[in-house]
Amino acid sequence: MSLFTVNNVIINHKVIPNKIVMEKSINITLKIWRQAGPKFKGAFETYKLDNISTDSSFLEMIDELNEQLITERKEPIAFDHDCREGICGMCSLYINGQPHGPDGEITTCQLHMRNFKDGQTITVEPWRSAAFPVIKDLMVDRGAFDKIIQAGGFVSVNTGGIPDGNSIAIGKDIADEAMDAASCIGCGACVATCKNGSAMLFVSAKVSQLALLPQGKVEAAQRAKAMVAKMDELGFGNCTNTGACESECPKNVSISHIARLNREYLVAKFKG
């Protein structure tokens, strides 16, 4: 246990005496992948970090490490992050062999240090996939996901001239299932964890969401065909139904969507 002061408690512009809060903290060792750029060879570097509050998020811990590196006039670790609420899908990180780390149903930004023990060594790597080349340190290029969506992950409607939102009734169960598929955040954990580097969970989530809804049904088969073709072209691997993607997905997207994708894909094949 360490003493920790909250020094920003100022009310009505009168500073009230610092409050002392008892908070748990731990000391850790980090092995972090450093790589100067896509064409450079990377390697692990080891860092020691003391007095990390267990209420800190994993990324706040890396912020602290970076502050320490900056103080030592060293280059901080490059990593992707933005919303820090688990929804933008920008953060990634392979932590102790698991995408988004040991806790379930969360992204790295929502992983908290209370999931680690005092004295523990934590290994941090970028997503490893042929389709996601490393940009620097822990940052990777996930532009391939955008290209898959551009190939067909939409309903072909222009702005304006749309009938009333209630003109098509959609069963609650269908809407809910579409919502579950649509909750994919495009983080890429499914690809990173798959031994084949397949993007099937990502692709199927979009195909399934739109195939379930009447608005998206019109183009369902064509969409599946176009998106799968783009996925293959971009160097993602094949799906061999290991289910690893589903178990590591921070948003619990189900592999049942892959079955629906396969159905739509077959329909497209039959139609030629």
Among 122, 185, 191, 201, binds another protein (CB under 8 A): 185
Q: How many angstroms separate the CA atoms of 95 and 210, rounded? A: 33
Among 49, 135, 229, 267, binds another protein (CB under 8 A): 135
Which three-class secondary structure state does DSSP give residue 170?
Answer: coil
Site for another protein in 82-101 (CB under 8 A): 82-90
Among 50, 55, 118, 232, binds another protein (CB under 8 A): 55
Residue 145 within binding range of another protein, rule CB under 8 A:
yes
Which three-class secondary structure state does DSSP give residue 99?
Answer: strand
Between 154 and 241, CB nearer to another protein: 154
Enumerate the β-bridge partners of residue 22: 3
Residue 164 within binding range of another protein, rule CB under 8 A:
yes
Q: How many angstroms separate the CA atoms of 73 and 86, rounded? A: 31
Residue 133 within binding range of another protein, rule CB under 8 A:
no
Residue 257 within binding range of another protein, rule CB under 8 A:
no
Residue 10 within binding range of another protein, rule CB under 8 A:
yes
Residue 39 within binding range of another protein, rule CB under 8 A:
no
Among 26, 28, 30, 56, binds another protein (CB under 8 A): 56
Between 130 and 238, CB nearer to another protein: 130
* Listed residue (124, 236, 136, 140) closest to 190, CA to CA: 236
Measured CA to CA in angstroms, residue 149 lies from 57, 203, 223, 259 at distances of 31, 8, 10, 19
Which ranges in 80-213 belong to alpha helices (H)?
A: 143-152, 172-182, 189-193, 200-212
Site for another protein in 193-222 (CB under 8 A): 209-210, 213, 215-216
Enumerate the β-bridge partners of residue 30: 47, 122
Residue 118 within binding range of another protein, rule CB under 8 A:
no
Residue 179 within binding range of another protein, rule CB under 8 A:
yes
